[in-house]
Amino acid sequence: MMGPLRRVAGAVVRGVWERAGRWAAIGHRNAHARRFRSFGEGSAICFPVAALYGERYISIGAGTILGPYVSLSAGVSPQHELGDVEVVTIGARCLIGRGSGIVGHERVVIGDDVFTGHHVYITDANHGYEDPTVPPSRQFARSRPVTIGAASWLGHGAIVLPGSTIGRHVVVGAGSVVTGDLPDFCVAVGNPARVIRRYVEGQGWADVDPEVGDGPADAGDGPADAGDGPADAGDG
């Protein structure tokens, strides 16, 4: 008897949760969208949201989707007054994967058509540690702007740290940590992320020896195919 009841109850719970997800998502016609600096047509922040504040400093382009359990914030706290500025910009037709975090204190710019896998973290802020008498949780390092170029793809679990600049059409491998600059049209992996492939005009994609930089990798000892690196951002 309990078996059929459990199945019915389970179906009801799943149905309610699915409806809650549709009804509670923030779309461009939703009243919550008016709190943002701009919120593009056809965009949505999926339910549930892990954390969301500083909307008046955040712009989202058209046709962009932020997956469930995403954290999106501008400023140190909901009460933080930053003036008439745009702190976080997310372009058009982006997909930010489930469980990802975007934290802006000064400036984070994500270009159009950027996709990420799940649990990607992007921030321009960090904690300090220099004063040994104060816990690092109460020390703040200077914020440094972050830019991610159009049409880039960040694999599952990638981290983009303060001061990083990622060029256009860049693939960042799963689990990589970006700490500096990555040029246009490249593939980068590791901690810290290093370029292993670049697009060369008239030649196509070529392996790069990460120890040398722009030099070609040895044909026998080159890195594994970049297709094995990044997670499928389409799952985001």
Mean predicted lDDT score pLDDT of the chain: 88
Q: Is the pLDDT of residue 235 over 70?
A: no
What would the mean pLDDT of 73-82 be, rounded to a whole number?
91
The pLDDT score that the predictor gives to residue 213 is 58
| pLDDT score recorded for residue 217 | 44
Q: Does residue 39 register a pLDDT over 60?
A: yes
Listed in sequence order, the residues at least 6 apart from 26 whose beta carbon sits closer than 8 Å to its beta carbon are: 32, 33, 39, 44, 45, 47, 49
Mean pLDDT across the stretch 230-234? 40
Which sequence positions are flagged as catalytic? 127
Query: pLDDT for 147-194, tens place per residue?
Result: 999 999 999 999 999 999 999 999 999 999 999 999 999 999 999 999
Range 197-226 average pLDDT: 67
Bridge partners (DSSP) listed for residue 44:
27, 65
| Residues 21/160/174/45 CA torsion (nearest 10 deg) | 10
Task: Say which range, 43-47, 145-149, 191-195, 205-209, has the weakest mean pLDDT.
Answer: 205-209
- 60: nearest Cα among 80, 76, 37: 37
In this prediction, residue 120 carries a pLDDT of: 98
pLDDT digits (tens, 9 = 90+) for 85-106: 999 999 999 999 999 999 999 9
CATH number of this structure's domain 26-235: 2.160.10.10
Quick one: which H or E segment has residue 16? Answer: helix 2-24
Task: Give the pLDDT band (50/70/90) at residue 22.
Answer: confident
pLDDT of residue 233: 38
